[in-house]
Structure 1
Amino acid sequence: MTLLANGGPSLVFVGISLVALLTIFAAGFMGARAGYGYADLEQVPRPPPHGHDMRPGPGPGRFREPSPVDTEALAAVLAAPHLQFCYNIGEHERHVFSQQGEDGVLEYIFDNIGTTDKYYVEFGTEACTECNTRHLWDAYGWTGLLMDGSGKAPDSRIIQNHMITVENIVELFEKYEVPKRFDLLSVDIDTVDYFVTKKILDSGYRPRVIASEINPYFDIEDRLSVPPSHTKWLGTPVFGQSPRAVFEQMEKYGYRTVYTDRNSINVFSIHIDVLVELVHKRTSLTVSHDIIAQLLPPFEYLYRRRAALHGMTHKEFNDMKKSKFMEVHP
């Protein structure tokens, strides 16, 4: 089942529902012609009357198991309404303390998936007067670890002063006793975000939601990041990671990217197990990862590119990107 972005969020789900329902209807119609009922999946197989032949197949008193196509189609129909929020996130962008609309995005995501420990890790916070977790702390009682090379919060929060590197990130997580599972990771260091995130995930940490800064100047096919040696941003377009690099990295570690903000600065990813649990909690169905993935926005729906950045044209950026960035594969 392929989702097309062109029809818009509501049309996507209408299309999925119609196709799936037609599949079920067709299966039931053919079943009825063969001599057995197919009113709904809960009644299949029907217990045969005492003494009847219990072998599967058509004919009086016979029954059959539903096909995988039947059950997957029904699962998709029942799961789809509970994942519709992934297509509505853009309506909820809101700035309270964040630089862009991240406050509203995170608020809306956690309104839908719920929280477990209200614990966050955010680094690259500066003074955290504009950061992704202050609203969660201020309005909802979240707590967690804030880190920056030279940050000092204007309130009671403590920012641990560390320059974040690939080499020290896991050591810092261990030093501050970050749990292996927690609600939110926010990464924004303008340099080796890709490799730091990889190190965290390779070390077994699995935040439920990850907010990642991206470089909005890349083409849709680019799988690029600054190299690991690039440890300082100089205020130029040479920073960070491409949208596709993040999308594919997230996918490798069991996440699905569900939103890119309007200014193409941050992307938001949810671990697919969280969405499986969400559907199960609301429907009692255990839906496969594949079905969940088919119901989520594809990369082409999420991709946005900025028209200009730091005084450099897109052509100028393309001319230099091969020498300043490296190709990455998860």
Structure 2
Amino acid sequence: MVKKVVKEIRKFWWFGFWQKGEYILDNLHQQRCQRNDDDYEVKRKVENPIYLDRFGYKVYSQNDEDGIIEEIFNRIGHTNKKFVEIGVQNGLESNGHFLLHKGWQGLWIDGDKKMVAELRSLFKGPIEKEQLVALNSFIALDNINQVVGVDGNYNGEIDLLSIDIDGNDYWIWNEIKCIDPRVVVIEYNAKFPPTHEWVMEYDAKHIWQLDDEHGASLKSLELLGEKLGYQLVGTNVRGVNAFFVKKELCKDLFPQPATAENLYNPARWNLQYISGHPSKKYIGK
């Protein structure tokens, strides 16, 4: 009797092992097919110089945003070289860090008190020279214009706005009225395909839990940008950030059609953009 039971258990164990093996092989096949599709799509964009994908590189940005931002301004030019960046932690890995090296002025805002204290220590030089303003504030719809326009004293036209707060990004961009950025960099939720509209429900107390409850789909951001007078001009290869430029500045400088369907990059979080050793401090003047 016992031998019979053991025999049955072994049979099911081997069946389960076989099933698991089949699942793994099937999963690998799907990944290989997806990678082939990705390779084709990336190649299509990289070979065409009007797409921004090929220009991405990392100096201090989280991914390859430094290079894409530089290329955008190579095409449209600068005005006052001012930026506002919301969501920077200690500032070392941010979209504004490299801009400071290039002589820009900026406003950094983050909701983490400890991170902002560290930021103020790391970037003491630019702050003392009044090149940089660093504010500790948890941004919401009811305070965004107060914090940026009054506390930070940033108003009117600026060159760049960057939003990375892992939650209410869509709502904050829609609400900012005190500044008029020529370029906007904002995270999108790459889980959703480029045809799908989705926006996280506004929550003033939202703190990201490392899940899919954050931001908005690229299509929803495309439509918001259009309403606000911006054109979607690209996304980075890793599928994290979307880039928008004021419509009147775009002319024939960026890809068409300017849609999520054409410019979407899927989530490729396995890709790493590593440039040298991790940043330890601000090494500018």
Deviations 1:277-299 (A, max 9, x none): xx7xxxxxxxxxxxx89945432
Corresponding residue number in structure 2 for 1:41: none
1:124 aligned onto 2:87? yes
The yes-or-no answer on 1:206 pairing with 2:180 is yes
Q: Which of 102-111 and 152-161 deviates more? A: 152-161
Decide whether the 8 Å contact of 2:154 with 2:178 is kept in 1.
Answer: no
SS of the equivalent of 2:225 reads: helix
Structure 2 counterpart of 1:183, which letter? Answer: D
Aligned to 2:137: 162
The match for 2:161 among 185, 196, 200 is 185
1:217–1:307 CA contact under 8 A, matched in 2? no
Residue correspondence of structure 1 range 35-50 to structure 2 within 5 A:
none
For 1:168 and 1:249, locate their aligned partners in 2 and report how far apart those are by CA, in whole Å: 20
Q: How far apart are 1:215 and its partner, in Å?
A: 1.3
TM-score, structure 2 normalization: 0.69
User: Which of 256, 260, 263 does residue 302 from structure 1 map onto?
Assistant: 263
Deviant stretches of 4+, over 3 Å: 5-11, 292-298
Q: 2:52 aligns to what SS in structure 1?
A: helix
User: Helix, strand or coil for the counterpart of 2:249?
Assistant: helix
Q: How does 1:277-288 map to 2 (within 5 A)?
A: none
Question: Does the 8 A contact of 2:167 with 2:200 survive in 1?
Answer: yes
Deviation readout 1:9-52 (Å, 9 max, x if unpaired): 699xxxxxxxxxxxxxxxxxxxxxxxxxxxxxxxxxxxxxxxxx
Deviation of 1:181 (Å): 1.1
Specify the code of the residue in structure 2 equivalent to 1:144: G
Q: Distance in 2 between matches of 1:271 and 1:9?
A: 22
Alignment gaps of 5+ in structure 1: 12-83, 280-291, 310-330
Q: What letter matches 2:106 in structure 1? A: G
1:9 and 1:88 in contact (8 A); partners too: yes
1:15-30 map, 5 Å: none
Identify the residue that residue 170 of structure 2 maps to in structure 1.
Answer: 194
Structure 2 CA distance for aligned equivalents of residues 106 and 164 of structure 1: 24
- Contact 1:256-1:293 at 8 Å conserved across structures: no
Structure 1 residues 181 and 8, CA, compared in 2 at 3 Å: closer, same or farther? same
The AA in structure 2 aligned to 1:303 is Y
- The answer for the alignment partner of 2:19 in structure 1 is none
Identity of aligned residues (%): 27
Q: Which residue of 2 aligns with 1:149?
A: 111
Tell me, in whole angstroms, the C-alpha distance in 2 between the residues paired with 1:7 and 1:263. 14
Inter-partner Cα distance in structure 2 for 1:130 and 1:294: 28
Q: What's the counterpart of residue 12 of structure 2?
A: none
Q: CA deviation at 1:149?
A: 1.0
Where 2:172 maps in the other structure, the secondary structure is helix
> 1:101 corresponds to which letter in structure 2?
D
Shift of 1:8: 4.6
Alignment size in residue pairs:
215
Alignment partners' CA distance in 2, 1:228 and 1:142: 32
* Separation of aligned partners in 1, 2:195 and 2:53: 23
Is 1:114 matched up with 2:88? no
The residue that corresponds to 1:36 in the other structure is none
CA drift of 1:126 comes to 0.4
Q: Which residue of 2 aligns with 1:34?
A: none
Deviates more, 1:294-303 or 1:262-271: 294-303
Deviation at 1:228, TM superposition (A): 1.1
Partner of 2:84: helix, strand, or coil?
strand
Change (3 A) 1:165 1:294: same
Q: Distance in 1 between matches of 2:268 and 2:103?
A: 38
**Counterpart selection for 1:93 from 50, 56, 62:** 56
Call closer, same or farther: CA 1:10–1:216 in 2, change over 3 Å: closer
Find the partner of 1:235 among 201, 210, 218. Answer: 210
CA contact (8 A) 2:79 2:158 kept: yes
Query: Where does structure 2 lack aligned partners over 5 or more consecutive residues?
Result: 1-40, 128-132, 271-285
Structure 1 segment 63-82 matched on structure 2, within 5 A: none
Q: Distance in 2 between matches of 1:298 and 1:242?
A: 12
Q: Which residue of the other structure, out of 204, 214, 221, is the alignment partner of 2:195?
A: 221
